[in-house]
Structure 1
Amino acid sequence: MQRLVRPPRRFIATAAALSLAGLVALAGPAVSAPAATAEPAVTTTDQFVDVGAEADGSAVRLDTRLYLPAGTGPHPAVLLAHGFGGSKESVVAQAKEFAADGNVVLTFSARGFGRSGGRIHLNSPDYEVRDGAALLTFLAARAEVRKDGDKDPRVAVVGASYGGAFALMLAGADQRVDATVAAITWNDLSTALFPQAAQGSTTPGPYKQLWGTRFFTASVASVGSAPAKPSDVLCGRFDLTLCGELQAAAESGGPSPALAATLRRNSPRATIAGVTAPTLLVQGEADTLFGLDQADANAASLAAKGTRHAVRWTDGGHDSVSSNPALDEDAARTWIRTYLKGTRTDPLPVPAFTYSLPVPRNSDTAPIATLDTYPGLHGGIEQVPLRTPTEPSVVLTPPGGQPNSMTSIPGLGNLQLPTYRLAALPGMSAAFDTATLSRSLTVVGTPTVKLQVTSTGTEATLFVSLWRVEGTDAVQQRALTAPVRVALTPGKATDVTVNLPSSVWSMAAGSQWRVLVTSTDNAFTVPRQARADRITLATPSLTLPTADGTILPSTTERDTESLALTGGILALLVGISGSALLRRRRRQREVVREDYADIPLVVDRLVKTYADGHRAVDDVSWRAERGQVVGLLGPNGAGKTTTMRMMLGLITPDSGSVHVLGRPVHPGSEVLSRVGALVEGPGFLPHLTGRENLDAFWAATGRPAEEAEIDEALSVAALGGALDRPVRTYSHGMKQRLGIAQAMLGRPEVLFLDEPTNGLDPPQIAAMRPILQSYAASGRTVVVSSHLLAEVELTCSHVVVMHAGKVVTAGPVSDLLSSDDTTVFEFASVGALEPARSALAAMDGIRSVELVDDPSKPTLTVVSDRPREEVVRELVASGADVVGVGSRRHLEEVFLGVIASSQAPSEDGSGDASLIERLRQVRAR
């Protein structure tokens, strides 16, 4: 059971909801103990209590803690249960407060949790509930505890979620319980985990897979709940039979008959007929795990038995905390105090029914209303007309059940996230709108709608939710959805009455509401078989249960919307002025280099060392002039990407500087508006077309549309008609070309391209070459990082080669490829190569001869210590069939040579042998 936190602002409650989205949510923001104004001395004692053994005979002890209040006894007692995944340590604060209120409090780690032994049986009557009876006997043996008879303590059982079900089941199984508070819990775990919203159907609905996953992770990963055996890692401390059944249900999407029977038996519905103790039921109105229907079933059973009870609906639950925690605490405190002191009041000590209205826009707390009697989920009925579409909607279930609609996010329901566009996926949803409401309505309970479904399958799974229409969008007051699974005859229309999620809605006059039907939902297991359903209205109206309760005077009314708006405006003004001041100061301290004003890019002594001590860039300096296409080369880990990120202001160097046209580059530099870049792949909105993505990108710059020169960029993309298709249909190469075009929008003066030919086929690579060269020739500069050395050789005018964070060589490609000691001979035929090589081998001063027997261009590359003219003269005199002589090497040779030369020679060799080995190592990388 989780304690309700009293938030001073609603956004704090929202933050608390975020914390509840994980394991803690399974314990639930339950009804808290009373808040003590002064904390009297409370003493505690820890001890283990023996309980019943497991089925295999292994002994089980529960880890308990007894809290004793100050003053002479005997005192009434409170048995305080924790939520799923918790332990006795989870409820320390609540226990101390109950004890400070004059109660002996016993907390415990349930079987299978914390330091207690045994396995998790999900509140089995044979295990956890019997454990509870043993704890009552333990309390009865304490002299400090007030007794109603032999072995009969005066005791209340309090719990939430897992602990709430325990409280109800123990009260039904053991008449010694005198009062019960059960919060955000279930009546029938089979219908809670496999909910069915089709009215009158007994078929289990789809599995709540997200919540089910959390049950397993809470068991496996919670502190102190390590698996009893290494082989049990998949089940944690779950009973292995139950675990196997749950896993099978998660995979199939439905429970086996054995699992359904077990879940029903491990539920309050199995024992609640025996509850005679006055019971307060607290449930959350936007709870995606245990909805109001579960509390309603518990209330109906108590009413049938004649058991005194009250029902309280809060705007908290597993998805968020209540916005009125103090009032919830007061109700629980009043209930426990009344019935533990032995009084039987008439009327009840709290209203029979309390419910929370949605939080108004100008407040941070939900208005609370009361009724003298609990009306159930189908109170006063109002019929609101629904507009019938002229044609039935066809709703598709895609193969594999993906993509999933996102109606709600379990654990984050009260954040009211804008999920409509994620819920109403095109082709996978149908919408039915009401007429505009002529008067205001307060809906309290379960709205219903009657649909007509005609399917291609024998079974349809659908999800139905209620939204408020706002222009072209829609929002949910309660982020809930109702799952429906119905058997059908293919091609035959079937009427289905759907119980929408139970909650409370404020429907203002003039508003319009929408019933949304989807074929998938991310919170549930959905069928994987493709199916098409024609859906229309069987009855053109929405049935709404209404109530007109008495609104309690609010003690926390505040116009938070106005406060937030005022605060937001002030913050915006401060932000704008601060940002302007920051920019002005930054401009004042910028070192503008007038001597670099005509140089597109100057990199000066850059150094970057990461937190692990690795120096990725070490004193790197180079520059790029107008008209140049500069290739940035180096093996993996050379520092190319880190350097490029610093050149673009994405990261800050430890020392050194980058100047573009004389202006220093740093995050947010204005000069970056004169730079275009494609780094580590393009990123586009997949649902927009290529053209729309380019338009959106340019619009985000805030610059006039005519400056984009988009036609030229589109010619670079060369996508033809594909420009008007969604980007999600593009191949990798098409996205890459669109990314290059995006980088060239506005014809920036410096263009950075990281692996621009990645994903392009050879003709596209060849077509890109003149585009980049002509772009540079117009007086601009292009910097290309690439691993395709042959392409760099053909495209780039200059190269910078990096290795181990340093620049090892740089210069014009033509200079790097020419060499005084290297001569390249071309021959008329391959047959002329071998005689020529033999002739060269006989000459003095020849260091190496490399043969390339390409029939289209047979060559010999000769490295010599002699002047080139002597080598040419002797080879021609030998009769070799030479048709051409040159001195140009390939860039790959230069690249490998300078990288290998920058490495230390091997210990076991020197000279040519070690150089060859180092070249081999570089090639391997």
Structure 2
Amino acid sequence: MVHPHKPLRTSTTGAVSAALLAGAAFGLAPAAPAAATGAEAAPGVRFVDIRGDGGTVLKANVVTPADAGGSRTYPVIVLPTSWATPQVEYLAQATKLAGAGYVVVSYNARGFWQSGGRIEVAGPPDVADASRVIDWALAHTPADPSRVGMAGVSYGAGISLLAAAHDKRVRAVAALSGWGDLIDSIYSGRTQHLQAAAMLGGAGYLTGRPSAELQQILKDFLGSNLAKEDAMIAWGKKRSPATHLDRINANGTAVMLGNAWGDTIFPPNQYAEFYERLTVPKRLEFRPGDHATAEATGLLGLPNDTWTSAHRWFDHHLKGADNGVDREQPVRLKSRSGGGYETYPNWKSVGADTRKIALGGTKRIHANIDSGANGGILMLSNALDQFVRLPPTASVPLLPRSFAAVWQSERYGSDRRIRGTVKLHTTVTSTKESGTLVAYLYDVGPLGLGKLVSNAPYTFHGKTAGKPFTVDLELFSTAYDVPAGHRLAVVVDTVDPLYIEHNPSGAQLTFSSPAADPSYLSVPLREQ
């Protein structure tokens, strides 16, 4: 066993940067980096094996402050890795934290890379592993048991929140690009998020060893096995921090949540809802981008707003630093259209001003055909929006009305701001008992080119053919600025490559607006 306070000297060369660059953007890495086997490392870094739940070996690295020694103790931060990402994922941030006086232990989640066990998708063994890593840190590093924090990106975020619910020693969490509700993330609107599930499943098989349970869940989910729907939902709820939220509140853990507006794996709505139910010290931050792209540069050690906020969060809640975090408005967001940060006292205040766009008339569309209105490509389209402001687009005048229902607002005479959650309310009549519809909101310029503002899917089963029913659908939350002279367009079609659709062959959907229950789109819209 390596001496607890004596660092090994191992290499952190360009291979680490290459692996982190790939992993940072997508929560993945193409190959195990060379850092774990090299010869010379930054002082304070060592690679260790930690026994997790049931004796499963977890590959980990430990970074300690340069002045560690004697009887002095330090706050400790535990970092579970992202899905399919090697244990060096957080090395740059761990080094920064250690330089600021933290002990940092990062470990590869069970089932991935060289760690033992099977992929349990933040199941009970993963939660127990987090506690075993804390045990190890308290026994083998100068860690203070009263100042324990956890953080992570994506998979690491979910495990951190679940661990905080089950281990009272966790006093502060920074959960970045994670989930509060797993079902509402990849099965929102009772629609399978095809690209998200396929990517996660494929990456799991490539870089790890999925458990038999996970293999069956993926088979049922991607195969649309509705007979197993209740079992899949129960499986997801067990792995959702929202299910255990009362325990987090009871433990008093300080929780910071950070995510991107365009996260195509864990959409922002479910994080905002989770945040609103927290009664502990809390903070919510949304920025432009897609899954894990808001934190990506920080994983390479570059300046990064998300990680700066996380460090401030830990400094206050684990070190007692009077840095103002507790006095700032806790909801902080940045528009996809640019500009500085906006702050709010709570999430409800973000979308307090709403306007309705009437969805009048009757429109009938044929299912099974993609109209050309789409939510983009997983982890690519919204990253392009983040870095070059190029969201998914569609020519609204050219969308075929046989396959897309379209409504448009008036042109706005001044700039408008959309902040929060857009909500669709309409009446649908289907010629079949099952079906899928996808709603989109576009910012349409003078030439008719629409830039995607938000979207969301909705699937129904067991309806009576020819009988109208009401649909209420929340589109994914966003912050977007609509220029003067533009208008908003609401588009509904039935096919989107992001999702699995359930439209029987030959199905038709009719959208109507009964006088007693008019259809509308509620938009959190106000003048700038």
Fold match (TM-score > 0.5): yes
Q: Closer, same or farther in 2 for the Cα pair 1:121/1:344, shift >3 Å?
A: farther
SS at match of 1:190: helix
Inter-partner Cα distance in structure 2 for 1:79 and 1:323: 19
Q: Are the aligned partners of 1:190 and 1:260 in contact in 2 as well (CA < 8 Å)? A: yes
Unaligned runs of 5+ in 2: 1-17, 30-40, 298-302, 385-389
Q: Closer, same or farther in 2 for the Cα pair 1:547/1:50, shift >3 Å?
A: farther
Q: Closer, same or farther in 2 for the Cα pair 1:546/1:472, shift >3 Å?
A: closer
TM-score normalised according to structure 1 size: 0.48
Counterpart in the other structure of 1:280? 256
| Number of corresponding residues | 474
2:402 is aligned, of 408, 411, 427, to 427
Q: Are the aligned partners of 2:80 and 2:156 in contact in 1 as well (CA < 8 Å)? A: yes
2:217 is aligned, of 236, 239, 245, to 245
Q: Does 1:96 align with 2:98?
A: no
Residue type of the partner of 1:94?
A: Q
Inter-partner Cα distance in structure 1 for 2:322 and 2:243: 27
Q: Does 1:474 align with 2:445?
A: no
Q: Deviations over 1:447-501 (max 9, x none)?
A: 11222211101123100011011235333254x4211123432112223222122
Inter-partner Cα distance in structure 2 for 1:344 and 1:253: 53
Residue type of the partner of 1:43?
A: G
Residue type of the partner of 2:314?
A: I
Residue type of the partner of 1:99?
A: A
Inter-partner Cα distance in structure 1 for 2:76 and 2:219: 39
Counterpart in the other structure of 1:451? 426
Counterpart in the other structure of 1:388? 360
Inter-partner Cα distance in structure 1 for 2:254 and 2:376: 35
Inter-partner Cα distance in structure 2 for 1:394 and 1:465: 17
Q: Are the aligned partners of 2:411 and 2:487 in contact in 1 as well (CA < 8 Å)? A: yes
Q: Does 1:178 align with 2:171?
A: yes
How far has the Cα of 1:321 moved from its partner? 3.8
Q: Closer, same or farther in 2 for the Cα pair 1:528/1:156, shift >3 Å?
A: same
How far has the Cα of 1:315 moved from its partner? 1.0
Q: Does 1:160 align with 2:136?
A: no
Inter-partner Cα distance in structure 1 for 2:357 and 2:273: 29
Q: Deviations over 1:2-26 (max 9, x none)?
A: xxxxxxxxxxxxxx9xx76x99513
How far has the Cα of 1:161 moved from its partner? 0.9
Q: Closer, same or farther in 2 for the Cα pair 1:167/1:547, shift >3 Å?
A: farther
Q: Deviations over 1:184-240 (max 9, x none)?
A: 1111212211101xxxxxxxx111111111111111223xx3xxxxxxxxxxx1111
Q: Does 1:64 align with 2:40?
A: no
Matches within 5 A, 1:27-176: 42-53=43-54, 59-72=55-68, 73-124=72-123, 126-148=124-146, 154-176=147-169
Counterpart in the other structure of 2:523? 544
Q: Deviations over 1:15-45 (max 9, x none)?
A: x9xx76x9951359xxxxxxxxxxx963222
TM-score normalised according to structure 2 size: 0.82
Counterpart in the other structure of 1:208? 193
How far has the Cα of 1:270 moved from its partner? 2.5
Inter-partner Cα distance in structure 2 for 1:523 and 1:352: 32
Residue type of the partner of 2:48?
A: Q
Q: Which shows bigger deviation, 401-410 or 251-260?
A: 401-410
Inter-partner Cα distance in structure 2 for 1:403 and 1:89: 43
Inter-partner Cα distance in structure 2 for 1:191 and 1:376: 19
How far has the Cα of 1:343 moved from its partner? 5.6
SS at match of 1:71: coil
SS at match of 2:216: helix
Question: Which is greater in Rg?
Answer: 1
Q: Are the aligned partners of 1:404 and 1:522 in contact in 2 as well (CA < 8 Å)? A: no
Residue type of the partner of 1:217?
A: G
SS at match of 1:135: helix
Inter-partner Cα distance in structure 1 for 2:89 and 2:526: 38
Q: Deviations over 1:614-644 (max 9, x none)?
A: xxxxxxxxxxxxxxxxxxxxxxxxxxxxxxx
Q: Which shows bigger deviation, 436-445 or 187-196?
A: 436-445
Q: Closer, same or farther in 2 for the Cα pair 1:296/1:418, shift >3 Å?
A: closer
Q: Are the aligned partners of 2:419 and 2:525 in contact in 1 as well (CA < 8 Å)? A: yes
Counterpart in the other structure of 2:411? 436
Counterpart in the other structure of 1:408? 376
Q: Are the aligned partners of 1:169 and 1:271 in contact in 2 as well (CA < 8 Å)? A: yes
Residue type of the partner of 1:248?
A: D
Residue type of the partner of 1:468?
A: D
Q: Deviations over 1:143-202 (max 9, x none)?
A: 511233xxxxx2210111111111111111111012110011111212211101xxxxxx
SS at match of 2:347: coil
Q: Are the aligned partners of 1:461 and 1:483 in contact in 2 as well (CA < 8 Å)? A: yes
Inter-partner Cα distance in structure 2 for 1:477 and 1:356: 17
Q: Are the aligned partners of 1:385 and 1:541 in contact in 2 as well (CA < 8 Å)? A: yes
Q: Closer, same or farther in 2 for the Cα pair 1:44/1:64, shift >3 Å?
A: same
Inter-partner Cα distance in structure 1 for 2:24 and 2:320: 37
Unaligned runs of 5+ in 1: 1-15, 29-39, 54-58, 149-153, 197-204, 226-236, 361-365, 550-925
Q: Are the aligned partners of 1:410 and 1:523 in contact in 2 as well (CA < 8 Å)? A: yes
Q: Does 1:527 align with 2:496?
A: no
Q: Are the aligned partners of 2:435 and 2:503 in contact in 1 as well (CA < 8 Å)? A: no
Counterpart in the other structure of 1:731? none
Q: Deviations over 1:479-536 (max 9, x none)?
A: x421112343211222322212211121334321001101111111112512101123
How far has the Cα of 1:76 moved from its partner? 1.1
Q: Closer, same or farther in 2 for the Cα pair 1:83/1:157, shift >3 Å?
A: same
Q: Closer, same or farther in 2 for the Cα pair 1:358/1:417, shift >3 Å?
A: closer
Counterpart in the other structure of 2:340? 367
Q: Are the aligned partners of 2:313 and 2:325 in contact in 1 as well (CA < 8 Å)? A: no
Matches within 5 A, 1:823-902: none
Q: Are the aligned partners of 1:405 and 1:522 in contact in 2 as well (CA < 8 Å)? A: no
Residue type of the partner of 1:542?
A: L
Inter-partner Cα distance in structure 1 for 2:200 and 2:304: 29
Counterpart in the other structure of 1:503? 478
Give me the identity figure in percent: 21
Counterpart in the other structure of 2:490? 515
Higher relative CO (CA 8 A, sep ≥ 6), structure 1 or 2?
Answer: 2
Residue type of the partner of 1:132?
A: A
SS at match of 1:47: strand
How far has the Cα of 1:396 moved from its partner? 1.1
Q: Closer, same or farther in 2 for the Cα pair 1:271/1:248, shift >3 Å?
A: same
Residue type of the partner of 2:365?
A: V
Residue type of the partner of 2:191?
A: P
Q: Closer, same or farther in 2 for the Cα pair 1:343/1:94, shift >3 Å?
A: closer
Inter-partner Cα distance in structure 2 for 1:409 and 1:508: 25
SS at match of 1:381: coil
Inter-partner Cα distance in structure 2 for 1:320 and 1:345: 26
